[in-house]
Chain A
Amino acid sequence: EVQLVESGGGLVQPGRSLRLSCAASGFTFDDYAMHWVRQAPGKGLEWVSGISWNSGSIGYADSVKGRFTISRDNAKNSLDLQMNSLRAEDTALYYCAKDMSFAVTTGVFNYWGQGTLVTVSS
C-alpha cells in the first residue's frame, strides 16, 4: 500500500524558514517523480514544485521560485521542501504527491499524503 506521510509544518513568522518532509513507502520511491501541492484554507489546489526520479529535472511555481527548494533522498525514501523567506500567502496545507508514471515526470498525481499545515503569521 502506498503511503505518503508529511511532517514539519507549524506556525512560523514572516521571513523565517521551515523545512517540510515526506516519508514514502509501499512503492519503489526512486522510480517516480514527486511533487508538492498546496491548498490555502478554503481555497483550491496549487502545484508548488516537482522533482524527477533522479533529481535531474526540477520545477517550481513562479510564486515560490527563488524561495523554496525541493530535494529528495532516494536512499531514505524521502522528499523535502525547504521554504525560506516565508510570506503570509504561503499559509496552506502542503501535500506530498506521487507522480503517476514510471521514470517519467507526467505531472499527474495518483497518490497524495494527508498534508502538513503551514501557517505564516506574526
Chain B
Amino acid sequence: EIVLTQSPGTLSLSPGERATLSCRASQSVSSSSLAWYQQKPGQAPRLLIYGASSRATGIPDRFSGSGSGTDFTLTISRLEPEDFAVYYCQQYGSSPPYTFGQGTKLEIK
C-alpha cells in the first residue's frame, strides 16, 4: 500500500498570497496518478486536480498541480477567501486500495 505524507499539517496565509502544499509518496505513483481534493467544514470533498496536473471541470486556474514519481505539489497562486479549507492528496495509480494523505489545513493568518 502506498502511504502519502502531506506537509505542512497546517499552513497559515493571507488572502492574495501564494500557497504551496506538498504530498510525498512512500513509493513511486504510477502514471502520475495523483489527485487533489478540497474539503470545507460540513461539506463533501471536491475534486480539484487529477493526473497530477489536470484541473477538474470548473476549477479556477489559480489552482495548479505538479510533480511525478514520489513528490507532488498543489499550488494556489493567489488565495481567495473561499480557498481556506483542508486539502487532501490521493493516489490511484496502483490497484486498490486507493490511499489519501492525512490532509493539510489551509487557514487564514
Contact = CB atoms under 8 A, between A and B. Distances in A.
A75 B39 CA distance: 32
| Interface residue range, chain B | 20 to 34
A109 B97 contact: no
Interface in B32-52: 33, 35, 37, 39, 44-47, 50
Contacts, number: 60
Interface residues of chain B: helix, strand, loop or mixed (majority): loop
Interface stretch (B18-26, B61-69, B99-107): B99-107
A62 interface: yes
Between A50, A106, A109, the greatest number of chain B beta carbons within 10 A of the residue's beta carbon is seen for: A109
Given A112-B45, A113-B44, A44 B92 contact: no
Interface in A103-122: 106-110, 112-115
Interface in B65-100: 88, 90, 92, 95-100
Contacts of B50: 100, 106, 108
A98 B75 CA distance: 25
B56 interface: yes
B100 A47 contact: yes
B44 A115 contact: yes
Interface of B: 1, 33, 35, 37, 39, 44-47, 50, 56-57, 88, 90, 92, 95-103
16 contacts: A44-B100, A44-B103, A45-B37, A47-B96, A50-B96, A50-B98, A59-B96, A60-B96, A62-B97, A95-B44, A95-B45, A100-B50, A107-B90, A109-B45, A110-B47, A115-B44
Interface of A: 37, 44-47, 50, 59-62, 95, 100, 106-110, 112-115
